[in-house]
Amino acid sequence: MLLRLLGTAAGGGLPQWNCACPGCSGARRFPTRRRLHDGLAVHGPQPDTWFLANATPDIAEQLETHSVLRPAAGAVRTPVVRVVLTDAELDHTLGLLRLREASRIEVWCTKPVREALSTRLPLSEILAPYTELAWHDLPLTRHAEPADVAGLQVSALPLSAKRPRYAADEPADPTWSVALKVHDPSSDRSALYAPALASWSECLEEEIAAADCVVVDGTFLDEDEPRCHGISQRTASGMGHLPIFGPTGTAHRLSKTGTHTYYTHLNNTNPLVEPGDDAHEQLADLGLRVAQDRMVIHL
């Protein structure tokens, strides 16, 4: 199994078009600091089999950037695209519209996510004149047999009832936001992908400890970051993202699991988007790392 990081930024990307914070300004001065929206391409046992973990607004650029994700030699088009969703947020789903040239888009997601994307954001209706949108249930970890996606076993670990703003009045359900557990039966290796983490649980800790690699929510460095930068009156946790450091932070918890861990989904205000920030050394001391766009992780 191979994880290909297509992007590592939170909603808006880096730089964010309407922002002149230090992170965005630095990314404009130094293009190597730019980050596309967070998402993965996960390769199965066969080199030409893969699926997308979320479909971001940058998906066309992300696919084109990686030559192995382009149409195979001699092929006119990529016929089928497989997408597994962690939630119904716009920055994880708008890319489905950009994939309309495919003859079929296969999507695995939980029930509330599918309902939101079929009613509040009617993707099936919008895409019907362009392509076939085929929906599949994403089974829950420990409750059902995992789905076979590109030769890999994929299931969802419920994380929180955090709903996208366009569906804020929908009923609460712990499967609105999930972590993806991906297992390769051919190598018995596994990965956990959780770009949005609103709370810590014993079950989550067990799944992280059992995984060979974790790519996890690093949206905010500390609890007060959104307030300090004036982007929200809520704290990081109040926005549905546990911070990296602090009393509710994930760094020290993750360091105790012994699992190879990479932080992703970095907000433009997060000091970790600046390569020279001291927080990088703090993470390194704990055995943790910050994911980078176009990074490839072999498992």
d(C-alpha 132, C-alpha 79), whole Å? 11
Is residue 249 within 8 A of residue 243, CB to CB? The reply is yes
Q: Which domains occur in the chain, in start order?
A: 2-298 (3.60.15.10)
Per-residue pLDDT tens over the stretch 74-119: 767 888 899 999 999 999 999 999 999 999 999 999 999 999 999 9
Of 159, 19, 3, 143, give the one whose Cα is nearest residue 86.
Answer: 159
pTM greater than 0.85:
yes
Model pLDDT for residues 236-271, shown as the tens digit of each residue = 999 999 999 999 999 999 999 999 999 999 999 999
CA distances from 165 to 11, 30, 106 (A): 13, 33, 25
177-184 sheet: strands from edge to edge:
147-149, 152-160, 177-184, 189-194, 213-217, 260-264, 288-290
Residues 192 and 207: beta-carbon distance below 8 Å: yes
Q: State how far the Cα of 58 lies from the Cα of 8, in Å rounded to an integer.
A: 11
Is the bond preceding 15 in cis, omega lying within 30 degrees of 0? yes
- Indicate the residue type of 75: A
Per residue of the chain (299 residues), give pLDDT as tens. 999 999 999 999 999 999 999 999 999 999 999 999 999 999 998 867 999 999 999 999 999 999 999 887 776 788 889 999 999 999 999 999 999 999 999 999 999 999 999 999 999 999 999 999 999 999 999 888 999 999 999 999 999 999 999 999 999 999 999 999 999 999 999 999 999 999 999 999 999 999 999 999 999 999 999 998 888 899 999 999 999 999 999 999 999 999 999 999 999 999 999 999 999 999 999 999 999 999 999 99
DSSP designation for 117: I
What are the tokens at 222? 């500390």
As a whole number of angstroms, the distance between CA 175 and CA 170 comes to 13
Task: Report strand pairing: 288-290 vs 260-264.
Answer: parallel
Q: How far apart are CA 24 and CA 99, in angstroms?
A: 28
CA-only gyration radius of the chain, Å = 18
Cα–Cα distance measured from residue 76 to residue 282, given in angstroms and rounded to the nearest whole number: 48
Contact residues for 298 (Cβ-Cβ < 8 A; gap 6+): 2
